[in-house]
Structure 1
């Protein structure tokens, strides 16, 4: 069973999930799964379509927002923001370790207008360090404040 790390009331991050994890997520009240891993990253990882089918069978929505070694772009930030806002409850996002999912959440939260210090604190309490993208968080948050 994979450990889900609660970032806040609307968002959990996790390493790679399995079918058993989807059932556990549904029992926690999670309503949406976000896949931040590209297919084929590891030979033994389940394909996104498999996770999507299992999620939908459990009554959860599913969206794929893969983050590769190329980094995170504005389109991915916008997609994560939409996934969290459109969900009817908490979201579980996963990647290899949960780090990419947390970083993408942090950027989406900054774009939404959450204060950078609060974002960093929530991530840290869940065991994730967003300091490598702190400048981007600050910029997105500042851009939101000017709008």
Structure 2
């Protein structure tokens, strides 16, 4: 697990058995960005949701396929980050889609970080982001001026 910004962390796939420890580490919300059935043996969103409930954690399922990140997934993550208690842990298979979806959500957020800061944060957690330059800048340009 690596921090993106205060209250938001990113991770590779986690398992239901780890959720009690996450709660003990003071996490409040999990966001699963991994589509169900991506590979055999991965815990389903239903399994993770049930385990999160048992551990006292909020759970959001926001699947992001490989390839282009859908606008709906960015909007759903932005809404989750604005409405859920923190700290929040975002996860997918390797953490890549989670970090990159966060980058687009942050670029869309009124008052969000600038493009350079977003890129540096994603790179600092070991994920590539250069190919998202145009998308990040377009979202920043389209931000509402008042939020």
What TM-score do the two structures reach when normalised by structure 2? 0.91
Q: Output the CA distance in 2 between the equivalents of 1:82 and 1:11.
A: 14
Instruction: Give the equivalent residue in structure 1 for 2:82.
Output: 85
Q: Secondary structure at the match of 1:7?
A: strand
Q: Once the two structures are superposed, what CA deviation does each residue of 1:72-113 show, in whole Å capped at 9, x if it has no partner?
A: 121111100011111111111111100000010000000013
Asked if the contact 1:10/1:84 (under 8 Å) is kept, the reply is no
Instruction: Give the equivalent residue in structure 1 for 2:10.
Output: 13
Moved >6 Å (runs of 4+): none
Q: Once the two structures are superposed, what CA deviation does each residue of 1:21-73 show, in whole Å capped at 9, x if it has no partner?
A: 21222122211111111111010101110001111111111111111135212
Q: How does 1:112-131 map to 2 (within 5 A)?
A: 112=109, 113-131=112-130
Instruction: Give the equivalent residue in structure 2 for 1:110.
Output: 107
Q: How does 1:27-38 map to 2 (within 5 A)?
A: 27-38=24-35
Instruction: Give the equivalent residue in structure 2 for 1:26.
Output: 23
* RMSD (CA atoms): 1.5
Q: Secondary structure at the match of 2:10?
A: strand
Q: Output the CA distance in 2 between the equivalents of 1:26 and 1:145.
A: 35
Structure 2: unaligned runs, 5 residues or longer? none
Q: Output the CA distance in 1 between the equivalents of 2:87 and 2:66.
A: 27
Structure 1: unaligned runs, 5 residues or longer? none
- Is structure 2 residue 140 aligned with structure 1 residue 133? no
Matched residue count: 144
